[in-house]
A and B are shown apart, each in its own frame.
Chain A
Amino acid sequence: MKKIINTIIETIIFICGILSIVFVVLIFGFLFKEGFAFFKDYNVIKFIMGQFWYPDSNPALFGILPIVIGSILVTFGACLIVVPIGIMDALYISEIAPKGIRDVLKSSVELMAAIPSVVIGFVGMVTLVPFVKNLFDIPTGLTAFSGSITLAFMAMPTIVTISEDAIRSVPWQYKEGALALGATKWQTIRRIVLKTARPGIIAAVMLGIGRVVGETMAVMMITGNSAHIPNSIFEPVRTMTATIAAEMGETVRGDMHYKALFAIGLVLFVITFIVNFIADLFLGKNKNK
């Protein structure tokens, strides 16, 4: 009897474990099937290098260059903002802040992760967008720049929490050894702590980027959704994610436009896969030490 129950429970656990893999494989399969079907009817080079995204014109043009540039611009801008702030925040929390402040900061950063992206998008739309418009005196505040700020805000918890873990796992003995040789606190942080925690910090940044690249709702609300190649960060852009989300409802299942959106999904998947892969590489490196 005991043995039977044991077997049943083991089987259930096994199925649950396998299920997640099955779902992931199914999603990939679907994405690949629909995405690759697009390239049968449409030239890959024209797709990736095409400068015009006019799915409704005749003939329809599916050039994703503007939206890829839109995604890269917004992501890059967000990184420029969030990486230095996030790492310094993590350093402050783990190395400098007194215990009381540390606890408050840590939990508020973690709380940031719990804010739904539509809420961040909405708050950004009513506060940040008019602010950017007035500050730079531009026709609209719905720009790549506003999107970058919003995304920076959303990537912050990931980057801070994981970097902080990496920094905190630097053995105390290293720091003590450095201090005992006459190093100041800052020298210890720069030469020992940051160096030792570097793989973890890089992983944190990569996961943050992954979050930013895949984010949809907030960027859709804030970047203006104009699919043209921008001349500066103070112009509206449209990202790959926003394109899929905004247009999927207008397509007919199985037509070119529908497949094109899946092809974008495929490109997005490749990008996030590479970013996450790099992150994993560095996380693994950190653990082996």
Chain B
Amino acid sequence: MSKIEIKNFNLYYTNFHALKNININIAEKKVTAIIGPSGCGKSTLLRSINRINDTIEGVHTSGEINISGENIYDEEIDVGILRRNVGMVFQRPNPFPLSIYENVAFGLKVNRIYSDRNIINETVEKSLKAVLLWDYAKDKLHKSALGLTLEQQQRLCIARVIAVAPNIILLDEPCSSLDPVATQKIEGLMIQLNNKYTIVIVTHNMQQAARISHNTAFMLLGKLIEFDKTEKIFTNPLIKETEDYVSGRFG
């Protein structure tokens, strides 16, 4: 069953045609990787799934992205509710300059999900436990989140997303500013999370895509070139560009 259906989707930055007629069905509770060289539109595609691209001036789109059968570009969609359901983790860890606790509670407060302090406390604890940050942070909950290491900050950003109970988590090169050890830990976390959430990850690290994803999409110059099971893309792709890219002949 597919959770996210992207149909004939186009996106323009003012006059630049960044995404060209994308069609892709992303399966529920699987990890889907989007790979491709810089500037191919992989981040743009990811950022279309929670409409965070709306915040950039001059962006306009055509086509549909359906999540659980509902077109998120429909005029009647409440983007607040959409973004709560479709969480996003960014390239550089971007915790708010607030305490660790406030970071995780932020989404709960702005969406008015719970108002009971005890439930908020419980949710904060659960979310931090889910990203394996609880043991470290439980005594430092009211310290600034900016004091954490980059890897911990990225975990916190994932915890912040998990707290609002999304169905889908989008990750935009979540390990690109981390060292290999931290990357390994975050990857481990993603594998743990994938039976609960539909995960879409953009990465320029092909090994990472191969390690953690079930399906892989390869994009080039704003077009979706090939989309298939990850092992098929990496071992026996149908299209020559895909093969050239995954074998490192360009990129």
Contact = CB atoms under 8 A, between A and B. Distances in A.
A174 B95 CA distance: 7
A195 interface: yes
B164 to A, nearest CB: 6
Nearest to B102: A191
B97 A174 contact: yes
Contacts of B160: 177, 181
B34 interface: no
Contacts of B82: 182
Contact of A176 (B55, B79, B97, B161): B55
A180 B80 contact: no
A187 B80 CA distance: 11
A183 B110 contact: yes
Please report whether the interface of chain A is mostly helix, strand, loop or mixed according to DSSP. Answer: helix
B50 interface: yes
B98 A187 contact: no
A16 interface: no
B101 to A, nearest CB: 14
A184 interface: yes
Contacts of A176: 52, 55, 90, 94
Given A176-B55, A177-B96, A187-B110, A182 B90 contact: no
Interface of B: 50, 52, 55, 57, 79-84, 87-88, 90, 92, 94-98, 106-107, 109-111, 157, 160-161, 164
B243 to A, nearest CB: 35
B146 to A, nearest CB: 8
B110 A180 contact: no
Contact of B107 (A99, A175, A182, A184): A182
Contact of A181 (B92, B97, B98, B161): B161
Interface in A54-69: none
Contacts of A179: 52, 55, 83
A182 B94 contact: no
Given A176-B55, A191-B110, A181 B94 contact: no
Interface in A179-230: 179-184, 187, 191-192, 195-196
Nearest to A174: B96
A175 B94 CA distance: 9
Contacts of B110: 178, 181-184, 187, 191
B88 A182 contact: no
Contact of A178 (B84, B106, B161): B106
Contacts of B50: 180
A283 B95 CA distance: 22
A157 B234 CA distance: 60
Interface string A21-52: 00000000000000000000000000000000
B52 A181 contact: no
B90 A173 contact: yes
23 contacts: A173-B90, A174-B94, A174-B97, A176-B52, A176-B90, A177-B95, A178-B96, A179-B55, A180-B50, A180-B90, A181-B106, A181-B110, A181-B164, A182-B81, A182-B82, A182-B84, A182-B107, A182-B111, A183-B111, A191-B106, A191-B109, A195-B98, A196-B96
A85 to B, nearest CB: 27
A147 B57 CA distance: 42
Contacts of A99: 57
Contacts of A182: 79-84, 107, 110-111, 164
Contacts of B81: 182
A171 interface: yes
Contacts of B95: 177
Contacts of B88: 180
Contacts of A177: 90, 94-96, 157, 160
